[in-house]
């Protein structure tokens, strides 16, 4: 089972390349839907920084994947009138990997380090002086003749994005001037994102309910909502084109195993393991992961946040537990087949 292939996976897949097209990614703060508090904080920080001709403060964004962290980094650069450079924690193995980018950056440029919780300790220590005093140290020559040379950088903004703020060292976290947790989006906000995307993709909805239906199944995540839109568009095209009807949207998503709440086979397998094997819990994440044959980190990043959000799952000191809301998921609920399928192997993602 490879989770990034799930239709509702919030992780980017190759089909999402299209989403990086400048047309679909909002480029200005006022085009960015939702996250009102973050937008307010950023617009003040950006304006203040511009007034002082300084870079914006270092920003730490955390929250589940697909909620707009990368988009925000590009927007900050755009609003500051500077450029954004993008790298990720696992891509950086030693401090020297960053030298090229850091020394090339111009005043006010933005450096986005995605998955910053996976930054090796050596790189982390390397970026402390870069963040605090805009300088880095090079070691020239080796052994007895080693010399440390300090290089001054142009003042820049580091944006760290992470799905696991808890894994960041306190030392690193404290070096960010602003830290913000991104929230899941409301169905209404996702509806607005769909309206904008549909316009750009030259798509029409036959009924507003068709748009609502996709928004409601996108588990609060813009990346999923745009991906579902593409699947529905393909389905509608193959079925003869024309505006997207409720029927086409719901058939297309049912075909992909996405139910009315946006739960997919992996979510349902997770719930079923907890319900059937662990008697509704509490059970440890590692145990659930082992039973499912999934990676615990993947479950924690892409399955659990949404189940917690919709109140089906509770995380207690003893482990994960299903809430009483699960008993309301009877046969009339599209999530009902949950209890009729037979075991985790039915998951086809
Ligand atoms: P993350 O970095 O958190 O994984 P991204 O910034 O890559 O997420 O966003 C995923 C996709 O969702 C992108 O195509 C982006 O354009 C879109 N998106 C995210 N947030 C918004 C938003 N608030 N409004 C419109 N589109 C959004």
- Read off the DSSP letter of residue 185: P
Which residue lies with its CA nearest to atom 9 of ligand 1?
68
pLDDT on residue 145: 81
The arithmetic mean of pLDDT across residues 35-61, rounded, is 96
The arithmetic mean of pLDDT across residues 203-228, rounded, is 93
Structure tokens at 186: 């409301």
Asked if 77 and 59 touch (Cβ cutoff 8 Å), the reply is no
pLDDT on residue 1: 42
For strands 178-181 and 59-62, give the pairing: parallel
- Read off the DSSP letter of residue 147: E
Residues 6+ apart with CB under 8 A from 303: 266, 267, 270
Overall residue count recorded for the chain in this entry: 349
pLDDT-based confidence at 235, cuts 50/70/90?
confident
Whether the pLDDT of residue 13 is over 90: the answer is no
Structure tokens at 35: 């996250």
Ligand 1, atom nearest to 73 Cα = 6
pLDDT on residue 18: 40
Q: Check if 221 has its Cβ closer than 6 Å to any atom of ligand 1.
A: no
197-202 own/partner pairs: CB under 8 Å, 24+ apart? 197/24, 197/226, 197/229, 198/229, 200/23, 200/24, 201/24, 201/229, 201/233
Structure tokens at 118: 């996976």
The half-sphere exposure of 173 on its side-chain side, counting CA atoms within 13 A, is: 13
Asked if 339 and 286 touch (Cβ cutoff 8 Å), the reply is no
The arithmetic mean of pLDDT across residues 131-153, rounded, is 86
Is 156 in a helix, a strand, or coil? coil
The more confidently predicted of residues 262 and 46 is 46
pLDDT on residue 343: 40
Q: 327: burial class by Cβ within 10 Å (0-12, 13-18, 19+)?
A: exposed
pLDDT on residue 40: 96
Residue 262 CA to ligand 1 centre (angstroms): 18
Asked if 243 and 30 touch (Cβ cutoff 8 Å), the reply is no
Residue 316 CA to ligand 1 centre (angstroms): 31
Selected catalytic residue, list 82, 109, 114, 211: 114
- Is-catalytic flag, 163? yes
Q: What would the pLDDT profile of 269-315 be if each residue is shown by its tens digit?
A: 999 999 999 999 899 999 999 999 999 988 998 899 999 999 999 99
Selected catalytic residue, list 6, 211, 223, 227: 223
Report how far residue 244's alpha carbon sits from residue 210's, in angstroms, rounded to the nearest whole number: 7
Is 124 in a helix, a strand, or coil? helix
| Secondary structure E strands in the chain | 59-62, 84-88, 110-114, 135-140, 147-152, 157-162, 178-181, 313-316, 319-322
Q: What would the pLDDT profile of 183-206 be if each residue is shown by its tens digit?
A: 999 999 999 999 999 998 888 999
Report how far residue 167's alpha carbon sits from residue 285's, in angstroms, rounded to the nearest whole number: 16
């Amino acid at each position: 089972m490879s989770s990034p292939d799930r239709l509702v996976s919030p992780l980017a897949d190759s089909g999402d390349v299209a989403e990086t097209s400048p047309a679909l990614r909002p480029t200005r703060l006022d085009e960015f839907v939702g996250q009102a508090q973050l937008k307010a904080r950023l617009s003040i920080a950006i304006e203040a920084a511009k007034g002082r001709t300084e870079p914006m403060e270092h920003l730490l964004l955390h929250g589940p994947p697909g909620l707009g962290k990368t988009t925000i980094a590009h927007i900050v650069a755009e609003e500051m009138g500077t450029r954004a450079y993008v790298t990720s924690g696992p891509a950086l193995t030693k401090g020297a990997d960053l030298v090229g980018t850091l020394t090339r950056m111009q005043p006010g440029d933005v450096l986005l380090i995605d998955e910053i919780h996976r930054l090796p300790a050596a790189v982390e220590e390397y970026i402390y002086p870069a963040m605090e005093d805009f300088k880095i140290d090079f070691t020239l020559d080796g052994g007895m003749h080693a010399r440390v040379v300090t290089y001054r950088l142009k003042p820049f903004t580091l944006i760290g994005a992470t799905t696991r703020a808890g894994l960041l060292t306190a030392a690193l976290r404290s070096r960010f001037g602003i830290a913000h947790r991104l929230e899941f989006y409301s169905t209404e906000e996702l509806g607005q994102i769909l309206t904008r995307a549909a316009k750009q993709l030259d798509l029409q909805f036959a009924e507003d309910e068709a748009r609502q239906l996709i928004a409601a199944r996108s588990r609060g995540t813009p990346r999923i909502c745009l991906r579902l839109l593409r699947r529905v568009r393909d389905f509608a095209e193959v079925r003869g084109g024309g505006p997207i009807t409720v029927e086409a949207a719901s058939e297309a998503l049912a075909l992909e195993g996405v139910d009315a709440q946006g739960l997919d086979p992996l979510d349902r397998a997770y719930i079923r393991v907890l319900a059937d094997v662990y008697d509704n819990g509490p059970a440890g994440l590692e145990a659930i992961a082992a039973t499912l044959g999934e990676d615990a980190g993947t479950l924690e990043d892409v399955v659990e946040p949404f189940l917690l959000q919709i109140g089906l799952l509770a995380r207690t000191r003893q482990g994960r537990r299903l809430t009483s809301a699960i008993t309301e998921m009877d046969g009339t609920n599209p999530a009902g087949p949950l209890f009729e399928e037979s075991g985790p192997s039915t998951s086809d993602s």
